[in-house]
Structure 1
């Protein structure tokens, strides 16, 4: 009898599983935006359409639909459908009686109202999966999900017109390749000479002893291009490349002299020689990386160069969505080529912990994994479309200790410092949940001392808060000694990895941003701390934490870095809360990374105020350097857009020491009202001395793999590289507006030409090739004909007049088109990869 019961239970379980799989596979779900600015308010109407493609009725009442969604739902218009936000972007819909029998081939629509707006397909729900009541631990992904086309009434406001693109491109001059100075970022001096140096297997490589590492590295690259290495220190060779040490140049400065029989790279420091090599590579033909070469012909020239800013950084967020070790190494190759000398590595956040820490295995066992859960005990819940299955890339993943040491060594060989960011005390949900798991493990074992050693929350805390990203449990409790035990433990283990890698480390970035209001206010541990330390109000707890964290960081021989909040103090003026530069830490060498300059938000001068007050400031402005933001205001363009739209012109245009002067567009991409800058603090000479450098960044909420990362990063990064390295441009220094505009247009034309004709073709193959964004064409009707243009001269525009999609066999655009009707354009690179199609109607 017992065996029969077990058999029936197993049989029922199998039947239920088959039924659930069949149901999930037969369902298709689509999502559509219905209307923005609904009822004239900052809200929108949207719908899920659930369709039964099978032959049997479906009982959705037995299931719940889980997904990631970035908007706050206000109400659901459909009866018997319940929408819940569980945590962050983790949401679910429960189905009532109306969904008990969804007939074959039938559909049902769930319409809801949400706050804000929905402007591109990045805003849509993602990572949909079902969980059935019969087995709450088993998930079934919705494989048939699509985002519907934008309704006609919304399309006009959400689509970028080809006319607007045309208008932005129309002043670009098409410069012949032979007239383009070939090095990017542009050197201080480039003097073209007549003749060429021929790099082949007969060339010898000679170097001073101090530059042996750089020479060896260069020779390895030449071996990849030519299939053979150069002879070393052969003084009798007919043609030579010489790495020469000279006295008196700055650390990263260099000189190059290319003659017909000799190339001399000169520098005082190995960093300078390394950057001389990168510039020399820029002078190679762009197809040098496409296949093995018999010979590389380099034009003769003299180059003298040094960077404008000593700190040139890119921040990569691997916490929200992971990137593999191999992809990080590829990004390091890219940074090195364009003389970016720092990788700011964002290793943890609410949604993931990505670095193995010896002694704290729960950080990666629990918090490096995402998948369906309602308690986060074994893994974190899904975020940013990672779905219900555990261990799925890019939601899950981490770097082992060996991986991280390899990354550090790889970066060091390319003269790139890696700054680790360990988010504290906010954005710490992943760490908190991991240490909860550790607490439970040791508590069950009866070891309460060890259980509490690294606990990050007060178990009696009843505080109510909500972070910007929608979390109610993501802030470390700064009254607990165990919180500081945790921070010190992580710093010690990270420092040990740097020591093993023999890699430089000067600072630990501790985050410090976006701690929400209401946190800690009902924590008994906090109440005791405030009484003990005579802390009068909750805002002052922040300065207590910073002082403690700074003590730990300094005791390890480092200085503290953090986001702008580490340099700010909350106070009141006329009864209203305001932020000022905090006088407490101006002498502590805090490095404040300032992102908030959103035009119109009121903090346009924040970076300058902090620098003028004495803080070391890294300029990381959202308006120009947040590369996860969409290139353009276009429903088909991926990316966020809350702080700006960031095409390649935004980093190129940025004027670090007076960003009011070159600001052009507001948050919505419209012409900027510069009156918002009236009364804003400007950078004084003392403040300018505190500007450490520039940093670009990619936050990875909506980036699901290397292809999307590269699309958002390139070619924007090249505009950043130009601004971070090259000297102050003439169009910034010129006071006469007409002369400044002329100088700017000349500079901009050179830049976009060198991208289209040299850099993008190079990047199609360099380091294995990159998935850079190919722009859309611009088009306009002039005198009855369709005239088209392009952002990057050198790429090809193909078009059709018969309604079909352009391809490489279509007509190439060379002159205005007289044909009537729908004209479609698409831009292609030399490898045949294309951007999006645009169309214009010639009536």
Structure 2
């Protein structure tokens, strides 16, 4: 069996379009065995699908038809066909792809595996196969090969923050296609925050009438005190969400909604002031960072958000629902007679336990309805509610603690997987914030913390790249920050632990041609194009010493509650 590093760079077709092949695919397949010859798509090529895979055949026809102008009709198996075949020996998500001069055969244990095999096949074609219309005549050839492949992790996720910057529906659908191209299967939608509420809730219309709009936005880092003076807003109707969820499901992507509470809620409080702790009304937030305004802990507020979740659950049928739980300042609770009374009533020691109790109301609500609560790792600090999956973002110590307590975890440390952070030390990077997270650093990330035993590591469902949008104010900028780092992340969560960055960079040269065909404005290896810079928006870079100190402080908060887990 040859490794990807054994292959030469892809050949060029007569039109200058690089021929694909399994040795250029991202994420790299597990096993690749090249053979002699190639399969050439033509006007007579048909797609033969087992009944369970007909949807995948329909997707493949729609993906390849516009660029090739081949109809790729349904037909019986035989020479000259692309065959989608059920294979009982393959687990879910796994596939086997066999290409000969006569046929293409994709075998899979379930429709998701067949879909991933079809994605690999598409990448093995010339890059122009990713265009939405025909620009040449081919040849549309696929080198002969046998590929055997399956993902390492079940959770291969990406968070897109649509609360800080609303991403219009069509742009979000485009990103779902980009995630599917890279075999990513979870889209975590951060729908609510201090600066905007993006989901229509019919029972509480002011959440979008008021909470979906802010009067202006901070430009660059908050410390510079610069504002753009432009209203910003937008939201998804419930029918929009149904469409987004269905579109993602057709591509084997689960959409995980986040309704953040009890912090990051100023937009909701602006719409319904009785949810807050203050007597005066608040505007929707216009600055970034941790905001002091949080929900009160009264019964009517809990009932309000349970009613919100009633509608959320109807719109999002997936197992997981995120309740946030992160970055909750406690000053308003310390000053609130109602919060103090609630703590006395429940016998709670401090505001951390009050936060845990508050979040617990919603984790129990979700469990009772057959869902799996998902929350950020701050929920560890007041006692972890049962059945909660933890998103470990403040380093990986939260993942270690949660796994050893018997909870599932998703690793997404800000030090490694926050794709809104700067990509190099070049001052031309647009709005440079945070520490440097380079393409190579993303590729080198290991989702399973080394402290975990083999048994404990089974609690790691996978990893998630988070794209927060305080400083990403357009789909073009989103492309720049996401790619090609998201391609590197896809390989981290799909393939084996052992990886070769030199080989990845070689394959990325071919993959960038695919991204160009898709219209993705990725970051060039040499740095930003002039039009990708943002000299009007100053950032706030951090060095690794600052980041390490912050992680130590957060770790101390967890240790204070649980002690330090033994290695």
Establish whether TM, by shorter chain, passes 0.5.
Answer: yes
Determine whether 1:683 maps to 2:520.
Answer: no
CA shift, 1:490, in A, is 1.4
Determine whether 1:177 maps to 2:21.
Answer: no
User: Alpha carbons of 1:723 and 1:536: their partners in 2 closer, same or farther (altered >3 Å)?
Assistant: closer
2:463 to 690, 694, 697: 694
User: Alpha carbons of 1:567 and 1:716: their partners in 2 closer, same or farther (altered >3 Å)?
Assistant: same
Distance 2:229 2:387 in 1: 44
Q: Does the residue aligned with 1:765 lie in a helix, a strand or coil?
A: helix
Over alpha carbons, which structure has the higher Rg?
A: 1
| Matching residue of 2:192 | 348
Larger RCO, structures 1/2 (Cα 8 Å, 6+ apart)? 2
CA shift, 1:250, in A, is 1.3
Determine whether 1:547 maps to 2:360.
Answer: yes
| Matching residue of 1:721 | 490
| Matching residue of 1:405 | 242
| Matching residue of 1:213 | 55
User: Alpha carbons of 1:748 and 1:534: their partners in 2 closer, same or farther (altered >3 Å)?
Assistant: closer
1:590 to 388, 409, 429: 388
Question: For structure 2, which runs of at least 5 residues remain unmatched after alignment?
Answer: 12-20, 218-223, 535-567
Distance 1:411 1:714 in 2: 20
What does 1:584-623 align with in structure 2 at a 5 Å threshold? Answer: 585=385, 588-597=386-395, 605-623=397-415
Q: Does the residue aligned with 2:207 lie in a helix, a strand or coil?
A: helix
CA shift, 1:285, in A, is 0.9
Determine whether 1:186 maps to 2:28.
Answer: yes
| Matching residue of 1:626 | 418
CA shift, 1:528, in A, is 2.3
Distance 2:212 2:97 in 1: 46
Question: Which deviations, in whole Å up to 9, do the C-alpha atoms of 1:745-774 show, x marking residues without a partner?
Answer: xx2221111112x111111112xx111011
Distance 1:327 1:710 in 2: 11
TM-score in terms of structure 1 length: 0.57
CA contact (8 A) 1:630 1:641 kept: yes
CA contact (8 A) 1:612 1:684 kept: no
Q: Does the residue aligned with 2:260 lie in a helix, a strand or coil?
A: strand
CA contact (8 A) 1:774 1:834 kept: no
Distance 2:364 2:465 in 1: 29
| Matching residue of 1:257 | 98
User: Alpha carbons of 1:389 and 1:723: their partners in 2 closer, same or farther (altered >3 Å)?
Assistant: closer
Distance 2:193 2:529 in 1: 38
Distance 1:242 1:384 in 2: 59
Question: Which deviations, in whole Å up to 9, do the C-alpha atoms of 1:539-582 show, x marking residues without a partner?
Answer: 3212221321222222222121100012333xxxxxxxxxxxx4
Q: Does the residue aligned with 2:104 lie in a helix, a strand or coil?
A: strand
Paired residues in the alignment total: 509
| Matching residue of 1:774 | 524
Q: Does the residue aligned with 1:519 lie in a helix, a strand or coil?
A: helix
Q: Does the residue aligned with 2:257 lie in a helix, a strand or coil?
A: strand
Question: Which deviations, in whole Å up to 9, do the C-alpha atoms of 1:519-545 show, x marking residues without a partner?
Answer: 311212112212322223333212221
Question: Which deviations, in whole Å up to 9, do the C-alpha atoms of 1:205-264 show, x marking residues without a partner?
Answer: 1111111111111112222122232121244x6411111011031110000000001010
| Matching residue of 2:15 | none
Distance 1:703 1:384 in 2: 17
Question: Which deviations, in whole Å up to 9, do the C-alpha atoms of 1:120-173 show, x marking residues without a partner?
Answer: xxxxxxxxxxxxxxxxxxxxxxxxxxxxxxxxxxxxxxxxxxxxxxxxxxxx99
Distance 2:331 2:532 in 1: 49
Structure 1 window deviating more from structure 2 (211-220 vs 714-723): it is 211-220
1:655 to 427, 438, 446: 446
User: Alpha carbons of 1:470 and 1:421: their partners in 2 closer, same or farther (altered >3 Å)?
Assistant: closer
Determine whether 1:228 maps to 2:64.
Answer: no
Determine whether 1:748 maps to 2:501.
Answer: yes
1:199 to 18, 27, 41: 41
CA contact (8 A) 2:323 2:359 kept: no
TM-score in terms of structure 2 length: 0.84
What does 1:801-816 align with in structure 2 at a 5 Å threshold? Answer: none
Question: Which deviations, in whole Å up to 9, do the C-alpha atoms of 1:707-748 show, x marking residues without a partner?
Answer: 000000000001100000001216xxxxxxxxxxxxxxxx22
Distance 1:317 1:557 in 2: 26
User: Alpha carbons of 1:484 and 1:334: their partners in 2 closer, same or farther (altered >3 Å)?
Assistant: same
Distance 1:754 1:537 in 2: 53
1:476 to 250, 273, 295: 295
CA shift, 1:177, in A, is 2.5
CA contact (8 A) 1:506 1:558 kept: yes
What does 1:442-841 align with in structure 2 at a 5 Å threshold? Answer: 455-459=274-278, 469=288, 473-478=292-297, 480-498=298-316, 504-569=317-382, 582=383, 585=385, 588-597=386-395, 605-642=397-434, 644-658=435-449, 682-729=451-498, 747-756=500-509, 758-766=510-518, 769-776=519-526
| Matching residue of 2:150 | 306
Determine whether 1:269 maps to 2:110.
Answer: yes
CA contact (8 A) 1:175 1:753 kept: no
Distance 1:259 1:485 in 2: 61
CA shift, 1:653, in A, is 0.6
Q: What is the alpha-carbon root mean square deviation over aligned residues?
A: 2.8
CA contact (8 A) 1:424 1:510 kept: yes
Q: Does the residue aligned with 2:332 lie in a helix, a strand or coil?
A: coil
CA shift, 1:469, in A, is 5.0
CA shift, 1:610, in A, is 2.4
User: Alpha carbons of 1:641 and 1:206: their partners in 2 closer, same or farther (altered >3 Å)?
Assistant: same
User: Alpha carbons of 1:204 and 1:460: their partners in 2 closer, same or farther (altered >3 Å)?
Assistant: closer
CA contact (8 A) 1:613 1:687 kept: no
Distance 1:280 1:173 in 2: 20
What does 1:150-169 align with in structure 2 at a 5 Å threshold? Answer: none
| Matching residue of 2:270 | 433
CA shift, 1:495, in A, is 1.7
1:421 to 245, 258, 269: 258
CA shift, 1:460, in A, is 5.8
CA contact (8 A) 1:180 1:754 kept: no
CA shift, 1:347, in A, is 0.4
Distance 1:491 1:318 in 2: 18
User: Alpha carbons of 1:285 and 1:410: their partners in 2 closer, same or farther (altered >3 Å)?
Assistant: same
Structure showing the higher helix proportion among its residues? 2
Question: Which deviations, in whole Å up to 9, do the C-alpha atoms of 1:389-433 show, x marking residues without a partner?
Answer: 43xxxx311111121111111101100000000000001111111
Q: Does the residue aligned with 2:24 lie in a helix, a strand or coil?
A: coil
Determine whether 1:327 maps to 2:327.
Answer: no
Q: Does the residue aligned with 1:686 lie in a helix, a strand or coil?
A: helix
CA contact (8 A) 1:352 1:367 kept: yes
Distance 2:120 2:225 in 1: 39
Determine whether 1:387 maps to 2:228.
Answer: yes
CA contact (8 A) 1:652 1:723 kept: yes
User: Alpha carbons of 1:543 and 1:310: their partners in 2 closer, same or farther (altered >3 Å)?
Assistant: same
Distance 1:775 1:318 in 2: 27
Q: Does the residue aligned with 1:299 lie in a helix, a strand or coil?
A: strand
CA shift, 1:775, in A, is 2.4
| Matching residue of 2:546 | none
Q: Does the residue aligned with 2:234 lie in a helix, a strand or coil?
A: coil
Distance 2:291 2:59 in 1: 49
